A and B are shown apart, each in its own frame.
Chain A
Amino acid sequence: MGFIRNFPLFTIIFSLFSSVLCMMLTGRRAQRYTVCYECFLIALTGAVLWYVCKTGEAFTYVMGEFPAPWGNEIRAGVLEAMLALVFLIILLCSVLGGWRFLLIDVEHSKINLYFTLINLLTAALMSLVWTNDIFTGYVFLEILTLTSCGILIVREIGRTTLAAVRYMVLNLLGSGLFLLGVVLLYSLTGHLLMLPMRAAVSEIVAAPGGAVTVTFSLAILTIGLGIKSGLFPFHFWMPDTYGTATPTSAAILSALVSKAYIFLLFKIYWRVIGIEVFETLPIRRILFGLGILGMVFGSVSAIRADSIHKMVAFSSAAQIGYIYMGLGMGGPLGYVTAIFQILAHAVTKSLLFLTTPRLARVSGDSLLFQNLQGSGLRDKSAGIFFTLCAFSMVGIPVFAGFSAKLFFAVAAVETGDLGILFPTMLALAVSSVLNALYFIRTVIRIYTAGRGGADIYAPRIYAAEHNDDDTPDSFPETETLSGRLSYWIPALALTGMNLFLGLFSWVALDFIRRGLAMFA
């Protein structure tokens, strides 16, 4: 049983090895290997989750022979294990569901490099989830940044390259600010491991004038991670980045990468600063305000968008706003709901990014609203899954989005602070209406009969131009059984998770509560 304690280490080491291995394989084999490997990882993290639930306490794992303040450490509790599990399942679903588009978007000789990047990204995600050391966090944050640019740029189209460059510049700015924050905290505390840091921070804050230095370093760190995850004033890279990436990359970037950054921030608030100290700092109020602004302005931008990808991307900005609102709201339920929203949004948004290209596919490869008319009738499964996700985003009961909104409202009441209660309620109401406005509009659009402006019968110029005679069009009109399965399985799995989070939300909440109890 105790052997399970080694599994977090295995998830990281094996992912690093898999990435190098994928470089040596051919594209198709790399894909198969990655899918099998992700299943293996899911089993490992499932075992870790089961183990920590059974023992009822988190465990730290010393990386090497040198204990806490001297060597590196990783740590696993219910929260970490659960997030790792959900992240891996979504990663697997994205890889499966976007495979057909990957064949079109990515040059065939580079598909193995794509999976090399995916495996590196897995290693980085796992390390960020498990780490108990702020500098390890930084190192793997770098890997995550570079891999996310890599899986974006792999499409090799002008606009994607432009988006990737913009994304990279902003991300590097974010990394730089994060590193500065880490350096400042290190020079204040003299430690890099989270537990000794927290002890030092609580001493510093108690001393006169100490709170200001901690606040400044934490603010720089928060801005860094805020830029990377798309917090309100920094969300303008989203539509280009998510809109031009190949579907798998878009799903991974929006559902996992930005969430990993937020979880790292969450970890820093809880385990480095200490939540009692954090609640006294003004940063909390600012995050609350920015979160609310993000909810409103993200939705407004989404309404103004003229293509479905832009709309979905801007709705991500709104949903990220919810998470930050929860972080800033405070109170026990506020944090729990913020984590719940991470899960709910990851599950929904990944499926949205996997279905929208299918809608576009039957509309002459156009993402413009006017061309999408009737696409839900032409590709029925994509239409249904898109509609379900839209319902979840809007907050229709039985879906995950509804539960998240409900818990946010309850959490606001629980804080007993009118200054939080009124803005939260107002923002939830306004944001829900705005969400409904643009998602329901799209649903109406794709179910209106007719074919709008789309030239759906046009010959596949793209395929004809992009493939030589020896490689046939990679996206056949009639899908094979394996092709259909590779879409249906992830779509059903993600919808199932969505419904589970909506219908049995107390189970998820209970897990998160237990996780937070052993997190501090």
Chain B
Amino acid sequence: MSAKTFKKAFRRWLDGGRDLTENVMDGKRGHDLPRQDQRRLLHEAEDAALARMGRVVRSERRAFAAWYRVASVACCLVLMAVFLYMVAHITRYGAENPRAAEVAERYIERGLEETGAVNIVSGMILDYRAFDTLGESHVLFTALICVMVLLRRDRKNMRTAYEDYYRIREESYFPINHDPIARRVGGALVPCILMFGIYVLLNGQISPGGGFSGGAVLGAGLVIFASTRGDDAVDRFLTGKVFRRATFFALSFYSFAKGYVFFMGANGLENHIPKGTPGAILSGGLILPLDVAVGLVVACTMFGFYSLFRRGIIGGEDADGAAPQKRTEGEEP
């Protein structure tokens, strides 16, 4: 490049007129379009991108794909080798590695006495390491909020093709709640499932189960109920307000109850929460109420996912509180 053309090119770059990324792989420029022009210029940009892609596909794309395949296989092989090596060199549990058993031993030997829970796992996650579980239940809540942000119907995501999408979906999908077999079976199963869920939830401290598993069963019961008896049947008792309040009270109870225990424990104070008789339903101190709170959150999250993915709303209410257009009630065949 001669000095003059270089100077010219540099000048153009300085002025912002020269795009150094031209003819380079990552040439899609959708996001840097002016915000106000996005929709108007979308087609132009797409055409340009397609044309560029056409050029790219022939040469660079193919080279990239080949390189990518080789690299991914190499990465996997290296990782496999590392893990195999690790597995071969990690000492086994038990006698060979007494250090690793130190913590678990105490959980098993003194768990019942210290937490009041026959189910050591519950005692561990809700008492010894309750802070992690507090975080974990908020992970679910975070996921629920993220899905709400993405899928809950609003002007932005209903404005375009999605509007038709939801309408067509609601009209054309085979409405399972009109199927007499599904209705009857659902009607027979759902009470049992819900009962079982409540049982698992309340017995977390004395038998395998607890908030996470019980809540998942409850949520599944609700999902089956909604899909066999129709969304309107659920909307009758689980409105958006109820849903929000249940989540709010469950999570804030959890935070404050555990915060109280942490506070008292750290300051060496007695927390006045009775441990109860081990093996009875009222045992394990806070474990039972916490299990109920976690169960509510898990059930709400599961049903919320179902409802948001299916309808884009929870509990028959739009964000603004307005009820969406009701589907016309189908007649039973």
Contact = CB atoms under 8 A, between A and B. Distances in A.
A228 interface: no
A72 B266 CA distance: 11
Size class of A's contact patch?
A: 35 or more
Contacts of A452: 16
B145 A120 contact: yes
Contacts of B19: 306
Contacts of B149: 110, 113-114, 117, 150, 153-154
Contact of B255 (A13, A70, A220, A460): A13
Given A69-B103, A370-B16, A17 B156 contact: no
B297 to A, nearest CB: 10
B265 A64 contact: yes
A249 to B, nearest CB: 12
Interface in A240-285: 240, 243-244
A309 B32 contact: yes
B103 A191 contact: yes
Nearest to A159: B31
A40 interface: no
B129 A72 contact: yes
Interface string B38-53: 1110000000000000
A474 interface: no
A139 B139 contact: yes
B145 A150 contact: yes
Contacts of A66: 114, 127-128, 265
Size class of B's contact patch?
A: 35 or more
B154 A110 contact: yes
A341 B318 CA distance: 46
A371 B85 CA distance: 56
B260 to A, nearest CB: 9
Contact of B14 (A153, A441, A463): A441
A494 interface: no
Nearest to A213: B89
Contact of A24 (B13, B89, B248): B248
Interface stretch (B130-138, B214-222, B230-238): B130-138
A216 interface: yes
B39 A465 contact: yes
A378 to B, nearest CB: 15
Given A127-B135, A143-B135, A213-B90, A458 B142 contact: no
Contacts of A9: 259, 262-263, 266
B168 interface: no
A461 B39 CA distance: 10
B152 interface: yes
User: Top 3 closest A-B pairs, CB basis?
Assistant: A190-B100, A369-B16, A109-B319
Given A66-B127, A188-B90, 9 more contacts: A16-B255, A66-B265, A110-B319, A120-B142, A304-B21, A367-B32, A452-B16, A462-B36, A466-B155
Interface of A: 5-6, 9-10, 13, 16-17, 19-21, 23-24, 61-66, 69-72, 107, 109-110, 113-114, 116-117, 120, 123, 127, 133, 135-136, 139-140, 142-143, 146-147, 149-150, 153-154, 156-161, 163, 184, 187-192, 200, 203, 209, 212-213, 216-217, 219-220, 240, 243-244, 303-307, 309-310, 360, 364-373, 441, 444-445, 452, 458, 460-463, 465-466, 468
